[in-house]
């Protein structure tokens, strides 16, 4: 993890920015010049060297995946609950958490974002577990901030679940989630496959936790975090009975009554079925879906069902969590040891395919050993077994790639499309192997198209509106509807595979054209935000043969020109997901500037002054070692609710954009001209 400092070695403590504060935090690494192409060539050479130096010997790349301190706090709470904590881990995690605290005592969920109540409560509790005292100055600030903003009663459900595990909150005051949910057939509303895969993997173990309602005696109270200790959960007015919210609120009350009378044999059978479901989805390395949240709740659920810490399933799960930890030195003046940051996920497949694309588009020969090693590693990572996606597509043969090192249950469409585009840039010594993998992946991708002609990330037609209505689901997006960015990547891939005129491709293009925002951009589901969506869609449309003169592309170009910052770069704050005034606005970043340039270049705007200014911003802010700095978060897990700083984005996307500026649009090695029959 790269620490962001204020110039003196200490972490920046900036207030939450407003839409009008578009201050560029970067100082140019070297003076700009009028020779944009020459500067771009030099920047490309430096960046290629830097990126090659970061490749693992096995062929993959992986940058840190930075989120927020709730990951670290919940890791410590899990270890406390299971009784497996150790002083070294706790102290290092606490140092990281303290280092992320703002001057007002709160914590945020993304760089320079607004303070967040749930993150602050979880960070505070984790520091109490680490030995910090309520009357320590930084803890006094934190507890006062929590009380001013409503106390624990106003925290999200998941935060209060963690507190309930230790008796700091009442299970009776939490939404009910019965394990009998596992028995609902796939066609029934609110069955587990109506949820996105990340929510599904989390909710199934949580049904066991909700049924068991465990309490481990807490080592201290949290009275200082309540606005009124005598009434920690003030009553709320029920919504009208005929509204969805009102219906689910009343249904939750009924489920609380059911909890008291649930038939024992039925409940036990449901929890046993949930345990089997969880264990069947444990990956070979011990994790669940390659992401941290399902792992922690699965471990708790299995432990409650009698799996002891030394059971192979539990041991493998705990060992997998240790691999999510990033250890780094603490460079502050009063450093007392290392810092430990927990990644919510790891992104080697995504990082590797993007790095391969960047290097190839920057002029690296198609048979360069680094690209061949990357291709070999990606081919080894192909998913060839059936996963949960087959519930909606039972006759579809497997294929494709997942995001993580180990995740055979949940390949995703976005990674699959980008891996194919990366493999097509490599002249591999075994072309038959590449062709076979791409054929399987293309067939799988086409089969995962949703009814509306677009693609989601993990499942087809995962669009039920009901899961988001549940009182339990206040932690972010819990369904996986089609998105413009994923659909665009698929269209781009299909176009390069010779399928521009295929009916499935045309349906996807029609969907993208209909989804364009009135301002000219496209919403970005997995990256921030309209700049990411537009930077994905325009290259895809161009690859599929849509001319630069098309009205949709002209509107996109005009919009990008209108939101370019005065310094020549582009940036968009995460608050654009929640507040329209932020759309296209934010401090310039390397990745977002690159996305804007990719769209403009694909639209045929190479001679546009906006492109020249954007290229100048990238070349002027590049570090002497060929890298870029980017403290701002430009990725998402859930738009607005869970934000990500992919540390490799700041390297791969600028290199791709500069490479295409210097060398033109990519020419893929071994380009297939065969249209798919779907």
Residues recognised as catalytic: 414
Q: How far is 287 from 349, CA to CA, in rounded Å? A: 16
Angle between helices 70-82 and 117-129 (to 10 degrees): 40
Residues 6+ apart with CB under 8 A from 84: 309, 318
Count Cβ atoms below 10 Å from residue 11 Cβ, excluding itself: 17
Q: Are 361 and 51 in contact (CB under 8 A)?
A: no
What are the b/e assignments for 59-81, b being 16+ CB within 10 Å?
Answer: bbbbbbbbbbbbbbbbbbbbbbb
Count of alpha carbons within 13 Å of 329, Cβ hemisphere only? 4
Would you mind telling me the total number of residues written for the chain in this entry? 678
Beta bridge partners of 325: 342
Q: Are 245 and 239 in contact (CB under 8 A)?
A: yes
SS3 210: helix
Sign of the C-alpha dihedral, residues 12, 17, 23, 26? Answer: positive
Residue with tokens 């459900």, as numbered in its chain: 157
- 230 in the Ramachandran plot: left (φ > 0), alpha (ψ -120 to 50) or beta? alpha
Show the tokens assigned to 587: 């401090």
Q: For residue 382, what are the CA distances in angstroms to 187, 456, 593?
A: 30, 19, 32
Nearest CA among 541, 647, 515, 656 for reference residue 596: 656
Q: How far is 567 from 565, CA to CA, in rounded Å? A: 5
Give backbone dihedrals phi and psi of 571, rounded to 5 degrees, phi first.
-160, 150
Angle between helices 312-322 and 70-82 (to 10 degrees): 150
Count Cβ atoms below 10 Å from residue 265 Cβ, excluding itself: 8
Angle between helices 431-447 and 369-380 (to 10 degrees): 50
Q: Are 134 and 224 in contact (CB under 8 A)?
A: yes
Q: For residue 405, what are the CA distances in angstroms to 110, 377, 402, 442, 485?
A: 25, 11, 8, 21, 23
8-state DSSP, 526: S
Q: Are 266 and 258 in contact (CB under 8 A)?
A: no
Most distant CA pair in the chain, distance: 77
CA 581 to chain centre: 24
Give backbone dihedrals phi and psi of 626, rounded to 5 degrees, phi first.
95, 0
Show the tokens assigned to 678: 């779907």
Show the tokens assigned to 236: 């709320």
Angle between helices 649-663 and 609-621 (to 10 degrees): 130
Q: How far is 310 from 294, CA to CA, in rounded Å? A: 20
Q: Are 63 and 348 in contact (CB under 8 A)?
A: no
Q: How far is 43 from 564, CA to CA, in rounded Å? A: 21
Angle at 423 between CA 371 and CA 66, to 5 degrees: 75
């Amino acid at each position: 993890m790269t620490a962001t400092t204020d110039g003196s070695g200490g972490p920046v403590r900036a207030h939450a920015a407003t839409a009008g504060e578009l201050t560029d935090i970067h100082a140019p690494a070297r003076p700009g010049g009028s020779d944009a192409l020459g500067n771009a060539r030099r920047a490309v050479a430096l960046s290629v060297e830097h990126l090659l130096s970061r490749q693992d010997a096995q062929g993959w790349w992986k940058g840190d995946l930075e989120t927020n301190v709730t990951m670290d706090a919940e890791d410590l709470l899990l270890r406390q609950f299971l009784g497996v904590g150790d002083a070294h881990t706790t102290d290092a995690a606490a140092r990281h958490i303290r280092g992320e605290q703002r001057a007002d005592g709160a914590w945020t969920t993304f760089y320079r974002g607004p303070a967040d109540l749930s993150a602050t409560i979880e960070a505070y509790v984790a520091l109490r577990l680490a030995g910090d005292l309520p009357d320590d100055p930084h803890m006094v600030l934190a507890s006062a901030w929590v009380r001013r903003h409503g106390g624990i009663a106003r925290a999200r459900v998941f935060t209060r679940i963690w507190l309930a595990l230790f008796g700091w909150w009442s299970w009776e005051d939490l939404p009910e989630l019965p394990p009998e949910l596992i028995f609902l057939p796939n066609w029934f509303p609110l069955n587990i496959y109506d949820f996105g895969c990340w929510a599904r993997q989390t909710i199934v173990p949580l049904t066991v936790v909700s049924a068991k309602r465990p309490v481990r005696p807490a080592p201290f109270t949290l009275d200082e975090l309540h606005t009124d200790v005598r009434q920690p959960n003030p009553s709320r007015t029920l919504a009208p009975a005929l509204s969805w919210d009102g219906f689910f609120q009343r249904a939750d009350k009924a489920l609380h009554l059911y909890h008291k009378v649930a038939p024992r044999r039925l409940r036990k059978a449901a929890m046993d079925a949930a345990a089997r479901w969880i264990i069947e989805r444990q990956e070979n390395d011990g994790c669940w879906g390659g992401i941290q949240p399902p792992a922690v709740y699965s471990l708790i659920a299995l432990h409650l069902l009698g799996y002891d810490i030394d059971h192979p399933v539990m041991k493998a799960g705990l060992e997998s969590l240790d691999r999510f930890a990033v250890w780094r030195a603490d460079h502050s003046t009063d450093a007392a040891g290392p810092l430990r940051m927990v990644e919510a996920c790891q992104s080697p497949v995504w990082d590797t395919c993007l790095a391969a694309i960047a290097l190839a588009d920057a002029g690296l020969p198609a048979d360069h050993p680094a690209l061949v090693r990357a291709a070999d590693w990606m081919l080894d990572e192909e998913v060839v077994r059936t996963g949960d996606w087959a519930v909606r597509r039972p006759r579809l043969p497997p294929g494709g790639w997942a995001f993580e090192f180990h995740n055979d249950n949940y390949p995703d469409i976005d990674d699959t499309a980008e891996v194919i585009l990366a493999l097509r840039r490599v002249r591999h010594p075994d072309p038959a192997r590449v062709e076979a993998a791409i054929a399987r992946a293309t067939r799988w991708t086409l089969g995962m198209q949703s009814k509306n002609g677009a693609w989601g990330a993990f499942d087809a037609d995962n669009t039920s509106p009901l899961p988001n209505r549940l009182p339990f689901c206040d932690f972010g997006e819990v369904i996986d509807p089609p998105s413009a960015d994923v659909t665009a990547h698929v269209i781009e891939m299909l176009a390069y595979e010779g399928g521009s005129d295929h009916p499935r491709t045309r349906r996807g293009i029609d969907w993208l054209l209909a989804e364009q925002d009135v301002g000219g951009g496209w919403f970005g589901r997995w990256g921030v935000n309209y700049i990411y969506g537009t930077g994905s869609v325009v290259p895809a449309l161009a690859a599929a043969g849509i001319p630069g003169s098309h009205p949709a592309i002209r509107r996109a170009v005009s919009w990008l020109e209108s939101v370019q910052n005065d310094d020549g770069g582009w940036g968009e704050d995460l608050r654009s997901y929640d507040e329209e005034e932020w759309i296209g606005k934010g401090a310039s970043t390397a990745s977002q500037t690159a996305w804007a340039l990719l769209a403009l270049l694909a639209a045929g705007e190479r001679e546009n002054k906006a492109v020249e200014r954007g290229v100048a911003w990238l070349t002027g802010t590049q570090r002497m070692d060929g890298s870029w700095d980017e403290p701002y978060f430009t990725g998402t897990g859930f738009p607005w609710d869970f934000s990500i700083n992919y540390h490799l984005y700041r390297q791969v996307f600028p290199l791709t954009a500069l490479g295409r500026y210097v060398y033109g649009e990519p020419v893929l090695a071994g380009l297939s001209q065969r249209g798919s029959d779907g």
